Chain A
Amino acid sequence: MAMTHLVRWAARAPAPVYAAIGPGRQAEVERLLTRPGLNRAKTPRDAAILLVAGDLPSSSLDALNRLHDQLPRPRTTLRWLDGDQEAIAHRITTALRALCDGAAGEDDRLPDTPANEWKGIGPHGQGGKGMMGGTPYGRPMAMTGKDVRDGLQLDRYTTRVGPFAPMLPPGLVLEVTLQGDVICEASVQAAPFAQPAEADAPALCAARMLRLLGLDAAADRVIRGRPLRAAWVTGAVPRGLARINDTDARDRLSAWLRSRTVTVAPPDLAALLPGSEWSEAMLILASLPPSALIRAARATEAA
């Protein structure tokens, strides 16, 4: 009895969708996910439906499979190649209802085993030197290194983020070395997917920054063309972040909120990100219009 109520409620909840956005589809997906019956999941763990929009290049198929396996069961993958928003929204709700009605959902695409065997070299079976570092299970562990701010010996942790990370532009793969949440080194492993000029629309650009500021409802309102209802929006962005052509991140956000398009010269990402904290770095990336970011990342990737 309780179970049937639960299932009925679950079917009425907004469909939690995690989008893997391919080339040219960023603007459409961002507009789609503001629709009332849909919910933009902030992590794949919170989603039931994986929306694959557009044709993904073969280089990111492996990442897509890993992303797919991160969704909790029961889950469904929907491909959105073309067609209008009505049709895909309808397909999403139908798929969610099928899952709630007890559809089995999809199995894992990759084997659920460690990438490597356990390799202990320390006296007590640790991975690396002393009790730190090394690559147990093929996972590179943190190792102490000079802190970029105070020169103290603090742990450095290197990891790759992307190409479908919720806080990064679609397609971008960053390899970052973190100390706490301070970025010590950053390199672009893959540039973001090409997007049409539509992705530079002021409302979409503003919404990306608003989501980082914790203003999801306001972001949805801005995309739907309604007035922003939030306080301390531009003030929350620190001054001097990613200053390019005499505009910093805060200036660009306020221009976008006044529906003005912003054009900036592509900056040098490898110089821009190190030294900033993770949240600042994400604001920096979101404060660049996708066209400028793509050119910047391609230049860095080639270098």
Chain B
Amino acid sequence: MTALLVLAVLATLLGGTVLAALMDRAALPLAALLTRQRVETEAPDRMNRDLSSAWYLALAAIGLSVVPFAPGLALIDSPVGIVIWGSCEALVVVTVFLHGWSPNAPFPLIGAYRYAAIGLPIMLPSMFVLIAAALPAESLSLIDIVESQREIWNVLRQPLGLPLFLVVALAMTLRGPMDYADAADIATGTSAEESGAARALWQVARLAMLVSISAIAATVFLGGPLGPVLPGPVWLWLKTAALMALTVWIGNRVARTTPDRMLTILWVVLLPLSFLGLIIAGVMAL
């Protein structure tokens, strides 16, 4: 069973990443990147440069492995599944920072601490909406959260949750309005100095993280593998793909404001909003 679940996680990650590349129209450019050479910057932090993309990919895989593929069935069946995902989010911020730090160049470094400034406050709304979703289930386990949605999905029970979590998804996958690490005004920021296969690997890791966070959102807000007729994994895949498409669409359509203004929005609007959602969920769960 474990072997089967490992296979399911890897296949989902691989298939989802290919799907995400197609949604982004990035498949051919990614292949083209592999034909070009990798350029060295002067005195880089080699270890962290090589590890950051691998970490990002690994975090996507760990995040996906707490997702139940069928009711009651997840690779990592932890009583604190949601906290494991939260740790993955926090480590993504570290990984993106290291990715920008390691080439030893100004624009990547600006992207790195810009992302850390945005990434840390976004942890709070993220945790609040996830804890709000855990309240009706009375458990931090994603399996129990799926079970608690048999009657009504969390997207309807807690209408604030999914929109707020999509903002987190945009930030975690460095996309569109929340792409403060790899923005155009700093020449693609943390990856400004990267070429060839290394650049391709970072883009693949971004796409894999899109699969992972969409699967988490599908589990927490759309009932994950629950659904009539079709088997559980198929429902999870369909919901994940729909959320991936939605995130890509928002990422392409919504403008990105300046980091300073986004920080104000995060602290003054999104954080109180998510706290309000948590209070409402808490009162309802009583």
Contacts and interface: CB of A to CB of B under 8 A. Distances in A.
A9 B33 CA distance: 10
B2 interface: no
B255 A48 contact: no
A158 B188 CA distance: 20
A73 B192 contact: no
A14 B35 CA distance: 14
A151 to B, nearest CB: 19
Contact of B185 (A178, A231, A278): A278
Given A16-B32, A45-B199, A72-B37, A282 B257 contact: no
B51 interface: no
A167 interface: yes
A99 B33 CA distance: 12
B259 interface: yes
A167 B113 contact: no
Interface stretch (A55-63, A193-201, A211-219, A262-270): A211-219
Given A10-B31, A70-B39, A280-B260, A213 B187 contact: no
- Sort chain A's interface into a size bin: 35 or more
Contacts of B150: none
Contacts of A216: 184
Contacts of B34: 6, 10
A2 to B, nearest CB: 10
A12 B30 CA distance: 11
A215 B35 CA distance: 27
Given A13-B31, A74-B36, A214-B184, A180 B258 contact: no
Contact of B254 (A9, A74, A232): A232
Contact of A45 (B29, B185, B193, B261): B193
Interface in A181-208: 181
A157 interface: yes
A233 B255 contact: yes
Interface residues on B, range: 35 or more
Interface stretch (B60-68, B175-183, B213-221): B175-183
A166 interface: yes
A245 to B, nearest CB: 22
Interface in A217-270: 217-218, 229-233, 235-238
A78 interface: no
B80 to A, nearest CB: 35
A10 B27 CA distance: 10
Nearest to B117: A180
A14 B28 contact: yes
Nearest to B176: A214
B184 A166 contact: yes
B195 A214 contact: no
Contacts of B195: 45-46, 72
Interface in B163-190: 176-177, 179, 183-188
B97 to A, nearest CB: 14
A217 to B, nearest CB: 6
Contact of B255 (A39, A232, A277): A232
A100 interface: yes
A13 B114 CA distance: 31
Interface string B106-123: 100010011000000000
Contacts of B254: 230-232
B42 A13 contact: no
Contacts of B187: 42-43, 165-167
22 contacts: A7-B35, A9-B28, A9-B32, A10-B35, A16-B32, A45-B39, A45-B191, A48-B32, A72-B36, A72-B195, A157-B106, A167-B187, A178-B106, A180-B110, A180-B113, A181-B113, A238-B261, A277-B258, A277-B260, A279-B185, A279-B258, A283-B185
Please give me the 7 A-B residue pairs with the lowest Cβ-Cβ distance, nearest first.
A13-B28, A72-B195, A236-B255, A9-B31, A10-B32, A214-B256, A13-B32
Given A72-B195, A139-B42, A229-B253, 11 more contacts: A9-B27, A45-B192, A48-B32, A74-B35, A167-B186, A180-B113, A181-B110, A217-B252, A232-B177, A278-B185, A279-B258
Interface of A: 6-7, 9-10, 12-14, 16, 39, 42-43, 45-46, 48, 70, 72-74, 99-100, 114, 137, 139, 157, 159, 165-167, 178, 180-181, 210-218, 229-233, 235-238, 277-280, 282-283
